[in-house]
Amino acid sequence: MNGSGHESTHRAIERVARESYGRLVAYLSSHTRDVASAEDALSTALVAALKAWPRDGVPQNPEAWLLTAARRSFIDLVRHQQVAVASEPTLQLLREEREMTLPAEFPDDRLKLLFVCAHPAIDAAMHTPLMLQAVLGLDAARIAGVFLISPTTMGQRLVRAKTKIRDGGIQFEIPQERELPQRLDAVLEAIYAAFGIGWDDMAGVDQRGRGLAEEAIWLARVLLQLMPREAEARGLLALMLHCEARRPARRGPAGRYVPLSEQDSQQWSLPLIEEAERHLAEASSRGRPGRFQLEAAIQSVHAERARSGHTEWNAIMLFYEQLIRISPTLGTQTGYAAAVAEAKGPEAGLAVLDGIDPAAVSTYQPYWAVRAHLLQLLGKTTEAVDAFDRAIGLAEDPAIRQFLLQRRG
Amino acid sequence: MQFALLIFESPEAFAARNGDGTDSYTAAWRPYYKALVESGAYLAGEPLEVPETGTTVRIKEGKRRVQDGPFADTKEQLGGFIIMELPSLDAALDWAARCPASSTGAVEVRPLAPAAKHRVM
């Protein structure tokens, strides 16, 4: 086999792995609830594919091939564990395998898997890591890097969460109507946490999500494909697409940080903005507003600058007022203060900042960055330098640190 | 819980100590230190002299082996430490991530071991 053929086989495996990973894990674990064994079985199947496909060619239906291989390995795994305690669904799977009954079209249980990952019985801090691993197949080391904990600790926490799913009676099911809004919220939160962008990027936001934006958008697309009528799911996708559209403009030469207000809007991706706008319009037409639609609306106003050349800060301020009513987080309050400052002047913005509990913001970097900026505009130099110092001292991203150092003077 | 941040600095970071303090690395340290102190987590900390000033001692077969230079021959070298009081490792990792050395060198977070101290004191 020549090199390029080899490479294309590898690419085929990568593509199938990416597209089918969550479906296969969801299918294998939905009856047994054993996510860890399903993942192990699938990785064994992927290793087998890496060996067989370059030799025999990529099979006609790569997903079915993987499913067959993964099921076989899953059953081996279960056999190696104590068959005596194997659950009825597992035994059912064993019988099916004996009879070689492979479903031609296996059901897409990813939605159930997403709800399981963000189940209230699972530690909220583990919702996103679980999704990234079980639905997208990211390894613990990569997830640990993003969440800033050691790979060993992340690995242990993932194992603990999966044990809880298996043994804790968490069902693979779509929540009941009355529970659905709250349960869906947890799924959306977890996807957004993977995206890792707090509010807008005026002041320098939490940078831990770097590199996972694409994965988060992928998860949101999967969710929307499964729940096309959920306005907030669509709002979340619109929000992330708007932010993603600005990625090329967020760094200048030599990686210099460029705040949103100074970004060259010609560098924004128009196709992404247009897609975001379509989703936002579709979401709004359902008449069920929510946090993510409001955040997307704020980003949509910012995006408008690419066409009109200016920013309607009054509109942004009004959207923030609605947002604060349903989601009064530090990020929202800080974003609101920045919008008020633009719409009504720095004095008014500073008054909003003064209204936030000082104990809550002692290590919240964006608060100090906005505060420093407003104090500087008001000519309160000494206080501004103090706030800049705080923002610089709390910054994680060297580019943002550099930007603030220059602004401080 | 008490944690140590062990601050490993690059040769460039050590060299910057001879400058006028306006380079971005050195300039970032003062606000970092200030934010740490103001948060209430800071207990103690000291910078170390440059690695070339280090001398390493071993006793091998009963004899002193004295070696000019630091213990480990790596690119990044221990340049100082900070001791902090924090509720969790996660909070300590946050402070490690904010440390200017973490984007140019490396910062190791280690819990202090009070039990080990009590055994010998």
pTM of the shown model: 0.81
Judge if ipTM > 0.90: no
Phi, psi of B4 (to 5 degrees): -105, 135
Same domain, A100 and A120: yes
- Domain boundaries, position A251: 176-306
Q: Does B34 touch chain A (CB under 8 A)?
A: yes
Split into its structural domains, chain A has a count of 2
**Residue A4 confidence (pLDDT):** 54
Q: Does A398 touch chain B (CB under 8 A)?
A: yes
The domain covering B2-113 belongs, at the CATH homologous superfamily level, to Dimeric alpha+beta barrel (3.30.70.1060)
Q: Does B84 touch chain A (CB under 8 A)?
A: no
Domain boundary among A145, A167, A189: A167
**Residue A95 confidence (pLDDT):** 63
Same domain, A191 and A143: no
Q: Does A187 touch chain B (CB under 8 A)?
A: no
Decide if B24 and A392 are in contact by the 8 Å CB cutoff: no
Digit-coded pLDDT (tens) for B94-109: 899 999 999 999 999 9
Contacts of A362 in chain B (CB under 8 A): 38-39
Decide if B93 and A395 are in contact by the 8 Å CB cutoff: no
- B62 min Cα distance to partner chain A (Å): 40
**Residue A39 confidence (pLDDT):** 92
**Residue A78 confidence (pLDDT):** 73
Residue of A nearest to B104 (CA): A398
Q: Does B78 touch chain A (CB under 8 A)?
A: no
**Residue A197 confidence (pLDDT):** 45
- B92 min Cα distance to partner chain A (Å): 10
Helix axes A330-344, A346-354, angle to 10 degrees: 160
Decide if A389 and B39 are in contact by the 8 Å CB cutoff: no
Please give the Cα distance from A78 to A40 (Å, whole number).
Answer: 11
Q: How many helices (H) and strands (E) does chain A have?
A: 19, 0
Q: Mark which residues 126-165 of A lie under 8 Å from B by CB.
A: 148-149, 153
Phi, psi of B22 (to 5 degrees): -95, -5
* CA quadruple A318, A320, A321, A322: dihedral, nearest 10: 100
Phi-psi map region of A137: left, alpha, beta (phi>0 left; psi -120 to 50 alpha): left
- Within a domain: A316: no
Decide if B31 and A393 are in contact by the 8 Å CB cutoff: yes
Same domain, A161 and A57: yes
**Residue A17 confidence (pLDDT):** 81
- CA-nearest of A128, A163, A119 to A29 is A163
**Residue B50 confidence (pLDDT):** 93
Domain boundary among A142, A167, A192: A167
Whole-number CA gyration radius for chain B = 16
Contacts of B104 in chain A (CB under 8 A): 398
**Residue A115 confidence (pLDDT):** 93
Decide if B35 and A149 are in contact by the 8 Å CB cutoff: no
Domain ranges of chain B: 2-113
Please give the Cα distance from B21 to A172 (Å, whole number).
Answer: 59
Contacts of B39 in chain A (CB under 8 A): 362-363
Provide the number of CB pairs (under 8 Å) joining chain A to chain B. Answer: 53
CB-closest option in B35, B103, B104 to A393: B35
Q: Does B87 touch chain A (CB under 8 A)?
A: no
Please give the Cα distance from A120 to A105 (Å, whole number).
Answer: 31
CB-closest option in A149, A398, A405 to B93: A149
Same domain, A59 and A140: yes
Same domain, A18 and A126: yes
- Within a domain: A160: yes
Rounded average pLDDT per 10-residue block, chain A, 409 residues: 63 81 89 89 91 89 88 81 59 60 70 92 90 88 78 92 88 87 90 65 43 83 91 96 91 88 94 97 94 96 95 97 92 94 97 94 92 97 96 90 92
Same domain, A93 and A215: no
Same domain, A185 and A65: no
Residue B121: C-alpha distances to residues B114, B115, B116, B117, B118 (Å): 10, 10, 9, 6, 5
CB-closest option in B35, B102, B104 to A390: B35
- Three state DSSP letters for chain B: CEEEEEEEECHHHHHHHHCCCCCHHHHHHHHHHHHHHHCCCEEEEEECCCHHHCEEEEEECCEEEEEECCCCCCCCEEEEEEEEECCCHHHHHHHHHHCHHHHCCEEEEEECCHHHHHHHC
Q: Mark which residues 41-70 of B lie under 8 Å from A by CB.
A: none
Find residue B77's DSSP bridge partners.
B9
Same domain, A211 and A279: yes
- Within a domain: A90: yes
Inter-residue contact A166 to A153 (CB < 8 Å): no
CB-closest option in A153, A391, A402 to B24: A402
Q: Does B24 touch chain A (CB under 8 A)?
A: yes
Same domain, A198 and A223: yes
- Within a domain: A29: yes
DSSP code per residue over A283-303: HHTTT---HHHHHHHHHHHHH
- Within a domain: A377: no
**Residue B117 confidence (pLDDT):** 81
CB-closest option in B34, B97, B104 to A396: B97
Same domain, A185 and A158: no
Contacts of A363 in chain B (CB under 8 A): 35, 39, 94
Contacts of A204 in chain B (CB under 8 A): none
Same domain, A22 and A144: yes
Domain boundary among A261, A289, A306: A306
Q: Mutate which of B23, B26, B32 to disrupt the A interface (most A C-beta within 10 Å)? A: B32
Digit-coded pLDDT (tens) for B28-85: 999 999 999 999 999 999 999 999 999 999 999 888 899 998 998 899 999 999 999 9
Phi-psi map region of A33: left, alpha, beta (phi>0 left; psi -120 to 50 alpha): left
Q: Does A206 touch chain B (CB under 8 A)?
A: no
